Every structure is written in structure tokens, then in C-alpha cells.
Amino acid sequence: QKEVEQNSGPLSVPEGAIASLNCTYSDRGSQSFFWYRQYSGKSPELIMSIYSNGDKEDGRFTAQLNKASQYVSLLIRDSQPSDSATYLCAVSRGDFNKFYFGSGTKLNVKP
Amino acid sequence: DTEVTQTPKHLVMGMTNKKSLKCEQHMGHRAMYWYKQKAKKPPELMFVYSYEKLSINESVPSRFSPECPNSSLLNLHLHALQPEDSALYLCASSQDPGTTSPADTQYFGPGTRLTVL
């Protein structure tokens, strides 16, 4: 079983719609969760971190964490073509900040 | 400022060459990381330095040799690489080495695109 699982996509949504990206993790001891966006040929850039159960909002982005279900998601409201990228979920158990990355979900936002 | 810089942006080398990748951060971060990323795959951790000491080596072949000369600088020395080592090499840093929870955000540099001929 992989540490972190994501649907590879592609997930296609029309411009202006809500994009919902999901991630599950296997280790109940995981405590820190991150979403990164990666454009083709570029490096990952942080979208959001979340540490506690519930929702965390930042602009058009909302991260949701449910530790009981071992599930973390990212919602993108009012999706724009510029949001088209691969979204990486990363999970840490606190062992020297070692991140376990999911395989990423490719998002396509159609104009 | 959350900037991590990496040089060079692109590197082409032969299998007998010796080259080095350089990473720098001036955010006062105490942990630095090397990752390797192949196309359409997630970043794969290679090394972690915590307070300038190597804390994690993910069983990386010895043809990759990391070095942390000071708290701001991280090098990756390359020697006798194979074509399958061609990839995007990413450096990252974080404020805290993660010896206490929760884990700290890692900030990535732009990467070095390495091609081994």
C-alpha cells in the first residue's frame, strides 16, 4: 500500500467551476499535510498546509482534513485556465520533515 | 522572502564527467533537501541535512555525493552518472528540521535539469 494516494487524472473542469482534488494516506501517525502545485517543467510551489481537522481557506483555495478517515482534499473555487497544473499532496509523520508525496493529480481547466 | 536558488538551470554531462549542483537559501532555514524528479513522477527524496549534518540518505548510489558547507549552501557532487540519472534535481529548505511535530513547510528551488549522455 502506498503511503499517499491520489487519482492521477486528468481532472477536467470548465472555467469558473469548483475543482475537487483528493488524497488519502495510510499512516495514522501522519500529522502534517501539504498541497503543492507544479506546472510542467517547473518546481513545486506551496499552495497550502493544514495540520488540524477541518477546513482551511486561503483565497480561492480550501484545504480539508479528516484524520479519522485519513483523507485530505483541496477545493479550488472559480477555477481558471492558469490553475491547470499537477497538484501534489504531501504528508509528513515528523521524521526529519520527510515528506511522502502522492503521484499527483493533473488538473485541466477548460476556457 | 521564500527563495531558494539553484545553479545551473540546465546541465549536460557525459558519463565520465564530474560536475556539481549548487543550492542556496538565505532564509535562515536549518534543514535542506535534495530530491530527484523524473517526468510525470513525484519528487523522490535523496538526502536531508539538518543543522548542516546529514540526517537522511535514502540509499542513494555513491555517484551522488552531497555536501553542506554552511547553513545556507548545499551542493550535490556528481560523478560517473548513468543516462537513467537524467532528471530534474530539486533542492528544498525548511525552517525547522522536523525533529518536533508538526513538520515544517518545504520551499523548493527552481531545479536543475540534468541530462546524462
**Grid cell listed for B46:** 535523496
pLDDT digits (tens, 9 = 90+) for B80-91: 999 999 999 999
Judging contacts by C-beta atoms under 8 Å, the chain B residues touching residue A87 are: none
The overall average pLDDT reported for chain A is 95
Q: Is A96 on the interface with B (CB under 8 A)?
A: yes
Q: Is the pLDDT of residue B1 over 80?
A: no
Cβ atoms of A23 and A75 within 8 Å: the answer is no
Cβ atoms of A71 and A23 within 8 Å: the answer is yes
* Integer angstrom CA distances of residue A109 from A20, A23, A73, B54, B108: 12, 19, 18, 41, 25
Q: Is B112 on the interface with A (CB under 8 A)?
A: no
Residue A37, classed as helix, strand or coil, is: strand
pLDDT digits (tens, 9 = 90+) for A30-73: 989 999 999 999 999 999 999 999 999 999 999 999 999 999 99
Distance, in Å, from the CA atom of A94 to the CA atom of A60, rounded to the nearest integer, reads: 28
Q: How far, rounded to the nearest angstrom, does the alpha carbon of residue B74 sit from its chain's CA centroid?
A: 7
Measured in Å, how far apart are chain B's first and last C-alpha atoms?
37
Distance of residue B43 Cα from the nearest chain A Cα, in angstroms: 7
Percentage of residues in chain B having pLDDT higher than 90: 86
Of the candidates A36, A49, A96, the beta carbon closest to that of B48 is on A96
pLDDT digits (tens, 9 = 90+) for A74-87: 999 999 999 999 99
